[in-house]
Amino acid sequence: MRYGTKAVWIGNEPDYTGAVVPPIYMVSTFRQKDPEIKDKYVYTRLGNPTIERLEKKIATLEEGEYAIATASGMAAIDTVLRLLKPGDEIITMESLYATTINLMKTTYSRYGVKVKFIDLTKTENLMGNISRETKMIYFETPTNPLLKIVDIEEVCKIVKDENSEVIVVVDNTFASPYNQRPLKMGVDIVVHSTTKYIGGHSDIIGGAIVTNNEEIYNKLRANLISSGGVPSPFDAWLLLRSIRTFHLRMEKHNYNAMKIAQYLSEKEDVEKTYYPGLKDHEGHEIAKKQMRTPYGNEGYGGMISFQLKTDLKGVRKFLKSLRIIALAVSLGGTESLIVHPASMPPYKPLTKEEKERMGIWDNLIRFSVGIEDVEDLIEDLETAFKEMRE
């Protein structure tokens, strides 16, 4: 089966009723035949048929062996970070989802885990920085919100040559597995906020972890069972439904975002457009190599950031003038969403200096391009530019 066929059919295996799509096992506990517990299912935190079908489907999307579904993206990330112990060091990048940085810097540093920040867009920065304490390299590509690109293959090569035991983790939420499959490039663990492209309909919070390493998988499963961040069978069922159109949605996100990035990059009112598909994006050549659909075509995803040639007042006027594109956090849904990172969560509590170090300038806007008709989105932006200038 090819990718799209798998997105439709994997996880739909008929049960005794012949149902063509999976039913929901909305149940917490399972009746046992024997007190010694010989049955497969016992209690939903340990395993549930609907969640299991979802895990199989997500593993297929990432072309990986083992997947674990979690209650949120943060639950997935926390489950992975719990592989570390006091004294271990994690190398990461400051261009990271702010809540992930916060989790590392507050919770995990309290437990004695050291966090070192390195600019991984220049992979040579890793040289001389991997010590005996380094146990994990963790990054996103494209990054949030400036869409910086890290060379996944190159990072894995440098790290594994230095010490094959160091675990490389990629948060693949922004690209989605349709456009990038890091396990194929040497990464040990992929994490996702399935709230985003995999869910795709802005109606659930979820997460996932995928790996090809059985030993790591067993540890992660044990971590999740003990911390309890499992999804509801209902959310798992919604995700199973979402994934059946995943490949179609992603094609349209890729198409629309490319058109809009081209439009914005030629627009007078825009200072700079950040989209890895644009030839002048500083990570374009690496993105061209590693951001590929399962059919081998270039696929740069649905996320664009841009800086407006105006002040804070102008930015707010622009955002309030949009009629179709919704001002809302999150991303990856069928509907276009836009945010002003400097004044919205999760960046809002940071100081101006912290924000600027991360590229969160007052005139920066992040746009999650949906799957509407692209002409309507461009007309909406056009009206907002006009009203901003008035």
Residues that bind ligand PLP (CB under 6 A): 72-74, 97, 140, 144, 171, 173-174, 193, 195, 205, 207
Contacts of 109 (CB under 8 A, 6+ apart): 115
| 45 in active site | yes
Nearest distance from C-beta of residue 80 to ligand PLP, angstroms: 11
| 347 in active site | no
Cα 178 to Cα 151: distance, rounded to the nearest angstrom: 18
Three-state SS sequence of the chain: CCHHHHHHHCCCCCCCCCCCCCCCCCCCECCCCCCCCCCCCCECCCCCHHHHHHHHHHHHHCCCCEEEEECCHHHHHHHHHCCCCCCCEEEECCCCCHHHHHHHHHHHHHCCCEEEECCCCCHHHHCCCCCCCEEEEEEECCCCCCCCCCCHHHHHHHHHHHCCCCEEEEECCCCCCCCCCHHHHCCCEEEEECCCCCCCCCCCCCEEEEECCHHHHHHHHHHHHHHCCCCCHHHHHHHHHHHCCHHHHHHHHHHHHHHHHHHHHCCCCEEEEECCCCCCCCCHHHHHHHCECCCCCECCCCEEEEEECCCHHHHHHHHHHCCCCEECCCCCCCCCEEECHHHCCCCCCCCHHHHHHCCCCCCEEEEECCCCCHHHHHHHHHHHHHHHHC
* Residue of this chain nearest to ligand PLP (CB atom): 73
Q: Which is nearer to ligand PLP, 146 or 374 (CB)?
A: 146
Nearest distance from C-beta of residue 338 to ligand PLP, angstroms: 14
Nearest distance from C-beta of residue 174 to ligand PLP, angstroms: 6
| 300 in active site | no
| 97 in active site | yes
Q: Which is nearer to ligand PLP, 134 or 193 (CB)?
A: 193
Q: Which is nearer to ligand PLP, 96 or 325 (CB)?
A: 96
Nearest distance from C-beta of residue 86 to ligand PLP, angstroms: 25
- The amino acid at 22: P
Cα 267 to Cα 73: distance, rounded to the nearest angstrom: 35
Nearest distance from C-beta of residue 359 to ligand PLP, angstroms: 15
Radius of gyration (Cα) for the chain, nearest Å?
A: 21
Q: Which is nearer to ligand PLP, 49 or 276 (CB)?
A: 276
Nearest distance from C-beta of residue 255 to ligand PLP, angstroms: 22
Nearest distance from C-beta of residue 43 to ligand PLP, angstroms: 24
Catalytic: which of 41, 45, 255, 263?
Answer: 45
Q: Which is nearer to ligand PLP, 174 or 306 (CB)?
A: 174
Estimate to the nearest angstrom the gap between the alpha carbon of 331 and the chain centroid. Answer: 9
Cα 369 to Cα 187: distance, rounded to the nearest angstrom: 28
Q: Which is nearer to ligand PLP, 55 or 171 (CB)?
A: 171
* Token pair 């494209």: residue: 142
Nearest distance from C-beta of residue 104 to ligand PLP, angstroms: 13
Q: Which is nearer to ligand PLP, 115 or 378 (CB)?
A: 115
Q: Kindly state the tokens that stand for 311.
A: 């002040």
Catalytic: which of 3, 25, 66, 97?
Answer: 97
- The amino acid at 330: S
Q: Which is nearer to ligand PLP, 55 or 140 (CB)?
A: 140
Catalytic: which of 171, 188, 362, 380?
Answer: 171
Catalytic residues: 45, 97, 171, 196
